[in-house]
Homo-oligomer: A and B are copies of this chain.
């Protein structure tokens, strides 16, 4: 039997979604869950044409004591998931928040007098394992939950919680195992911000990104220094998400392992508001045809009200909608990408750039692939001529 031709139609459809940031009271809204407010937000999200959102429970609200899992708080999470189903939306649940927009939510049984590293302390790990297994089991009872992630950028909990690379490896592997055994076949994911790829001393390494769980996730933020290379609409800035995708493709042993662009956003002042819509289009249009791509989940659904204090300035304006539910220009661009991506043919990657270092095997030399490195510049130049794979050196 002849192989089917590779066409846009034969691929698993690309998933599109948003990271759900409640429009009122941010994630503190979990403390007084108002499902009518949630439904109003989800109506906005559905209007974009997306199929899913990422949902972020707050760990200390669900497990305020190591021995106490609040059934009411888990019921709240399920209520939002059920509301999502009313709008035809699937949900990916991140368990361990953990870190959100510069704030760390860590229960009191792991701070000050009970200070212990969430990554290495046996008591901490026992509590987290209990939490992760129970919450996974609860949420995967719902048909519209398609994925479970350990937690949002768990590497942001370091260095407040010390860990060495080997301990991180064990921590991630243990949690993937626990979650997988409870997840009823749903996707199991791990996420880290991009110091895992670029920062030589960072104990979270590319190894886990490209091997833990069922696919690789990448989070692209051009405030990591990339926007300083060539400005808000320069080629390095606009291709940064794709660069991370290609790094994840190159680093995976499994050639069929997919990559989920789980976070990408348009941060001020790196990208001024007047360029936001163009940033969205010119970042996403070149990568949605990438056959390695599983999906794109935009950060975030809604802005943060300025009555909430102490956020980094850029966090307030990342929404595709403002706090009054008005769609922003970036939101319109994103919806247009979602609409047109369905008919886009898969890309051919006819070019490849050889990388001088394999950051998976040699994380101490990660700086050689960071934005601004010679290699990064070479990839950006090649990408200008067309989709470009990355090839790491073979094992020596």
Q: Does any Cβ of B come within 8 Å of A313's Cβ? A: no
- Interface pick from A98-106, A193-201, A288-296: A98-106
Known contacts A105-B108, A112-B104, A114-B102; is-contact A310 B31 (Cβ 8 Å): no
Known contacts A113-B102, A113-B103; is-contact A307 B32 (Cβ 8 Å): no
In the bound complex, residues from chain B placing their C-beta under 8 Å from that of A310 are 65-67, 109, 114, 123
Q: Does any Cβ of B come within 8 Å of A350's Cβ? A: no
Known contacts A61-B31, A72-B32, A114-B102; is-contact A109 B309 (Cβ 8 Å): yes
In the bound complex, residues from chain B placing their C-beta under 8 Å from that of A160 are 112
Known contacts A31-B61, A61-B31, A111-B111; is-contact A309 B106 (Cβ 8 Å): no
Q: Does any Cβ of B come within 8 Å of A26's Cβ? A: yes
Whether B106 lies near A31 (C-beta < 8 A) is: no
Whether A64 lies near B108 (C-beta < 8 A) is: no
Q: How many angstroms from the CA of A157 to the CA of B111 in the assembled complex?
A: 11
Q: How many angstroms from the CA of A112 to the CA of B111 in the assembled complex?
A: 10
Q: Does any Cβ of B come within 8 Å of A173's Cβ? A: no
- Report how many residues on chain A are interfacial, defined by Cβ distance under 8 Å: 34
Minimum distance in angstroms from A71 CB to a CB of chain B: 9
Q: Does any Cβ of B come within 8 Å of A25's Cβ? A: yes
In the bound complex, residues from chain B placing their C-beta under 8 Å from that of A65 are 25-26, 28, 308-310
Q: Does any Cβ of B come within 8 Å of A73's Cβ? A: yes
Q: Does any Cβ of B come within 8 Å of A3's Cβ? A: no
Interface string of A149-171 (1 = CB under 8 A from B): 00000001100100000000000
Minimum distance in angstroms from A313 CB to a CB of chain B: 14
Q: Does any Cβ of B come within 8 Å of A385's Cβ? A: no
Interface string of A63-95 (1 = CB under 8 A from B): 011111010110000000000000000000000
In the bound complex, residues from chain B placing their C-beta under 8 Å from that of A105 are 108
Residue of B nearest to A72 (CB): B32
Question: Which of B102, B111, B127 sits near A106, CB closer than 8 Å?
Answer: B111
Whether A68 lies near B103 (C-beta < 8 A) is: no
Q: How many angstroms from the CA of A102 to the CA of B127 in the assembled complex?
A: 18
Question: Which of B32, B72, B104, B308 sits near A67, CB closer than 8 Å?
Answer: B308
In the bound complex, residues from chain B placing their C-beta under 8 Å from that of A67 are 307-310
Determine which residue in A64, A68, A103, A307 has the highest number of CB atoms from chain B within 10 A of its CB, and name it.
Answer: A64
Minimum distance in angstroms from A27 CB to a CB of chain B: 9
Residue of B nearest to A306 (CB): B67
In the bound complex, residues from chain B placing their C-beta under 8 Å from that of A307 are 67-68
In the bound complex, residues from chain B placing their C-beta under 8 Å from that of A106 are 111-112
In the bound complex, residues from chain B placing their C-beta under 8 Å from that of A104 are 108, 111-113
In the bound complex, residues from chain B placing their C-beta under 8 Å from that of A61 are 31
Determine which residue in A68, A72, A157 has the highest number of CB atoms from chain B within 10 A of its CB, and name it.
Answer: A68
Which residues of A are interface residues toward B (Cβ below 8 A)? 25-26, 28, 31-32, 61, 64-68, 70, 72-73, 102-106, 108-109, 111-114, 123, 127, 156-157, 160, 307-310
Q: What 17 new A-B contacts, CB under 8 Å, besides A28-B68, A31-B31, A109-B309?
A: A25-B65, A25-B68, A26-B65, A28-B65, A31-B61, A31-B64, A31-B72, A65-B308, A68-B307, A103-B108, A103-B113, A105-B108, A106-B111, A106-B112, A113-B156, A123-B310, A127-B309
Closest 6 CB pairs of A and B: A67-B309, A104-B112, A103-B108, A28-B64, A66-B309, A112-B160
A/B interface sample: 21 pairs, CB < 8 A: A25-B65, A26-B65, A28-B64, A28-B65, A31-B61, A31-B64, A31-B70, A31-B73, A65-B308, A66-B309, A66-B310, A67-B310, A68-B307, A68-B308, A102-B113, A102-B114, A103-B109, A103-B113, A104-B111, A109-B309, A123-B310
